[in-house]
Amino acid sequence: MFERGKNKGNGRNKNRGNGESRFCVCPQCGKTVPHTRGVPCSTITCPVCKVFMVRSDLKKSYNQKQIFSDNTNKNVFPEINYSICKVCGICVKACTVGAITLLNKKVVINKEKCTKCSNCVEACPKNAIILN
């Protein structure tokens, strides 16, 4: 009659948690992996290119590198909003060129090393990194 924990009823929470975001997607190569409920996609690395993944419903319909190539101001760099940043280090792991480091309990982006790939922007679980 009732199946506890299956969320198969006709109530307002029917199939809760099984929406569009059933997959985690790599913002760099597009590889998808099944989403595990309770595990944020931003904590899972792509098995192909080792970049942190994003929820499939948040995946942009364009290549992330277009953010910079389409921008008329070529001096656009990712910047940290320190009032939001929790210094979790996920952006450090997402940076494939080592441009982001933790220094004195603070995230620092080296503009000389930064390739403007925006992996850090996509990986940040608090949205503390913006393009400016």
Distance CA 59, CA 51 (A): 14
Q: Spell out the domain ranges in the chain.
A: 19-59, 62-132
Backbone phi, then psi, for 43, in 5-degree steps? -105, 0
Q: What is the pTM of this model?
A: 0.50
pLDDT of residue 72: 40
Q: In what order do the strands lie in the sheet with 32-34?
A: 32-34, 23-25, 54-55
Its CATH architecture, for the domain 62-132, is 2-Layer Sandwich (3.30)
pLDDT tens by residue, the chain, 132 residues: 455 555 444 444 444 444 445 888 887 777 888 888 888 888 888 888 888 888 776 654 434 444 444 444 467 789 999 999 999 999 999 898 999 999 999 999 999 999 888 889 888 988 899 877
Whole-angstrom Cα distance, residue 36 to residue 78? 29
Distance from first CA to last CA of the chain, Å, rounded?
56
